[in-house]
Amino acid sequence: MPCLDAIFERIISGNVQQQQQQKQQQQQHHQQQQQYKQQSFTTTMDELAMELVGLAEIVKRIALHLRSHCNEFRSNNSNSNSNSQVECCNM
């Protein structure tokens, strides 16, 4: 029955092709998920880096502000004739 053999061959080859396509789709989906995770991680790290830069700027401004007050306090304190001197941190 060559006709049945041909039908079975088509069914079998069709199933094999369908399975291969499904496997490829699963692999592509997995790769897309991995890329998305990597992009999300990179974005999060970039955002964190930007936040740290912003925080560093704030800390720098605070340090400069404190240093100016410290210098002002030193100059006011050195002008007084009192024996007790208040020390200010060296920056």
Q: Which residue has the higher pLDDT, 46 or 74?
A: 46
DSSP helix/strand/coil, 81: coil
Mean pLDDT for the stretch of residues 59-71: 90
- What pLDDT does residue 91 have? 47
Mean pLDDT for the stretch of residues 47-53: 93
The answer to whether 78 and 64 have CB atoms below 8 angstroms apart is: no
Report pLDDT digits (tens) over 12-27: 777 788 888 899 999 9
The answer to whether 70 and 91 have CB atoms below 8 angstroms apart is: yes
- What pLDDT does residue 62 have? 94
Q: Where are the alpha helices (DSSP H) in 1-91?
A: 2-79
Rounded distance between C-alpha atoms, residue 61 and residue 69, angstroms: 12
The answer to whether 77 and 86 have CB atoms below 8 angstroms apart is: yes
**The residue count for the chain:** 91
Per-residue pLDDT at 76 exceeds 70? yes
